[in-house]
Amino acid sequence: MSKTLLALLLVLGLVVLGVLTLGGTYNRMVGLDEQVGEAWSQVENVYQRRADLVPNLVATVQGAADFERDTFEAVTEARSRVGSINVEGAPSAAQLQQFQAGQEALSGALSRLLVVVENYPELTATQGFRDLQTQLEGTENRIAVERRRYNEVAREYNTARRRFPTLLVAGLLGFDEHPYFAAEAGAETAPEVDFSSSDG
C-alpha cells in the first residue's frame, strides 16, 4: 500500500470520526435543549393555572369586600401584565427576567388580596373561598416544584454545553446558555413576626 493511499485513508478516517463526534454532540445537545423546553412549558402551565384561578378568587372576595377597589385593580392589572408576556420555547435571560418580574408582581398583589380577606371572617368561612384558597396554595407548591425542575434540566444542559469537547462547537451549532430562575428580591431576608397588638 502506498504512503499516499495510507495518508488518504487516515485523513478520511479522521474526518469520519470528527463527523460522528460532531453528530453525537449535536444530537445530545438537541435532546437536552428539548428537555429544557419541556420543563419551561410545564412552568408556564402551572403559572397559567394560577392566572386562571385569580378571577374566581377576586370575584369571591370582591362580593364581600367591595370597597377594597385598589387591591382588586392591582390584582387584575398584575394578572393582565402576566398574560401579555409571551415566550416561545425556553426563555432567554431577558425574557425570563421579564416573566419572573411579572409573576412576582402578581404574587405581591395576591398577598395583598389575602391580607384584605383576613378582615372578613364571614368570607373565610365560605366553602367556595376555602376551595379557591386551597387550589391557589396547591398551585403555588406546583410552581415551586416546576421551577426547581426547570432549573435542574437547565443545569444539565448548561453543564453539558460547557464540557469539553462540546464547548468547542456548542456556540457554533446555536446552543446558547439557558438562564435559571432566581429567588425573588428580598427572599434572603426572613419576614418579621410581630405578635404585639394595637389594642395595647
Domain count along the chain: 1
103 in any annotated domain: yes
**Which of 168, 171, 169, 106 lies closest to 139 in space, CA to CA?**
106
- What is the Cα–Cα distance from 1 to 98, expressed in whole angstroms? 65
137 in any annotated domain: yes
- Which DSSP symbol is given to 172? T
158 in any annotated domain: yes
- What is the Cα–Cα distance from 101 to 119, expressed in whole angstroms? 28
Q: Are 78 and 109 in contact (CB under 8 A)?
A: yes
128 in any annotated domain: yes
16 in any annotated domain: no
55 in any annotated domain: yes
pLDDT, tens digit, 9 for 90 and up, residues 3-57: 888 888 888 888 888 887 788 888 899 999 999 999 999 999 999 888 888 888 8
pLDDT, tens digit, 9 for 90 and up, residues 96-131: 888 888 888 888 888 888 877 777 777 666 777 788
pLDDT, tens digit, 9 for 90 and up, residues 40-49: 999 999 998 8
Q: Is the pTM of this model over 0.85?
A: no
pLDDT of residue 59: 78
Tally Cβ neighbours within 10 Å of residue 113.
21
pLDDT of residue 1 exceeding 80, the answer is no
Domain enclosing residue 147, as ranges: 25-169
- What is the Cα–Cα distance from 167 to 175, expressed in whole angstroms? 10
Output the average pLDDT for the chain: 81
Tell me the CATH number at 48: 1.20.1440.20
141 in any annotated domain: yes
